[in-house]
């Protein structure tokens, strides 16, 4: 039985997946106990399971227990500003510079293959000036970021090279 499913089952039966007396005793008090005692028992069990099994409570469980975990980075949205140098060799060497003041994107993944797909999906569509013929190259720089710890200002992306 998976840890997440076992948690609900064992709380309902007043048992715990532990030999720690305090957690077992807390869970045994759930039946007929006050809401406050039930919450304390549940919180003790969840915290124990987090420590020993890596269980991470989410959604209504974490809110009900007041655990308020930091949401995973992949669930946040980052607002970024972009400066784009659009290069079209067929019309000259000078880049055509465009800016995008605010784009909302999910945080980039850390895996290199997934990062390439993320760039193609979330950054590349903001490049270009409408030309559909000939070679094109794009240099994109992040000029503003609502979460610089996730996407730092100065981050660059290149396309077409």
Q: pLDDT (tens digit, 0 to 9) for every residue of the chain, 161 residues total?
A: 333 333 444 444 444 444 444 444 555 555 566 777 767 777 777 776 667 666 666 665 566 666 655 555 445 799 999 999 999 998 888 999 999 999 999 999 989 999 999 999 999 999 988 888 889 999 999 999 999 999 999 999 999 98
Rounded Cα–Cα distance for residues 40 and 30 (Å): 9
- Same domain flag for 60 and 87: no
Cα 96 off chain centre by: 34
Q: Residues with Cβ < 8 Å from 114, sequence gap 6 or more? A: none
User: Coil, strand, or helix at residue 62?
Assistant: helix
Judge if 79 and 11 occupy the same domain: no
pLDDT of residue 46: 73
31, 100: one domain? no
pTM over 0.85: no
What is residue 75's three-state secondary structure?
A: helix
**Are 59 and 88 within one domain?**
no
Distance separating alpha carbons of residues 60 and 122, to the nearest angstrom: 31
Note whether 31 and 82 are same-domain residues: no
Residue 117's pLDDT is what?
95
Last-in-domain residue among 65, 88, 112:
65
40 and 83 both lie in a single domain: no
Q: Are residues 58 and 129 in the same domain?
A: no
Does one domain contain both 37 and 83?
A: no
Q: Look at residue 74 in the predicted model and tell me its pLDDT.
A: 44
* Same-domain status, 37 and 56: yes
> Do 23 and 56 sit in the same domain of this protein?
yes
Residues 42 and 103 in one domain: no
What is the domain range of residue 101? 73-159
d(CA 159, CA 143): 18
Number of domains in the chain: 2
CB of 5 closer than 8 Å to CB of 53: no
115 and 152 fall within a common domain = yes
């Amino acid at each position: 039985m998976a840890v997440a499913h076992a948690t609900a089952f064992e709380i309902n039966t007043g048992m715990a997946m532990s030999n720690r007396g305090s957690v077992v005793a807390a869970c045994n008090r759930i039946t007929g106990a006050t809401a406050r005692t039930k919450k304390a028992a549940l919180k003790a069990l969840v915290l124990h399971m987090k420590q020993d099994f890596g269980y991470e409570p989410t959604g209504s469980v974490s809110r009900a227990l007041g655990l308020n975990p930091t949401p995973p980075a992949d669930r946040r949205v980052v607002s970024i500003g972009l400066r784009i140098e659009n290069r079209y060799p067929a019309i000259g060497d000078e880049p055509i510079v465009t800016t995008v003041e605010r784009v909302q994107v999910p945080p980039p993944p850390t895996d290199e293959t997934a990062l390439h797909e993320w760039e193609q999906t979330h950054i590349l569509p903001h490049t270009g000036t409408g030309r559909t013929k000939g070679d094109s190259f794009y240099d994109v720089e992040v000029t503003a970021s609502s979460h610089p710890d996730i996407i730092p200002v100065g981050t660059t992306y290149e396309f077409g090279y």
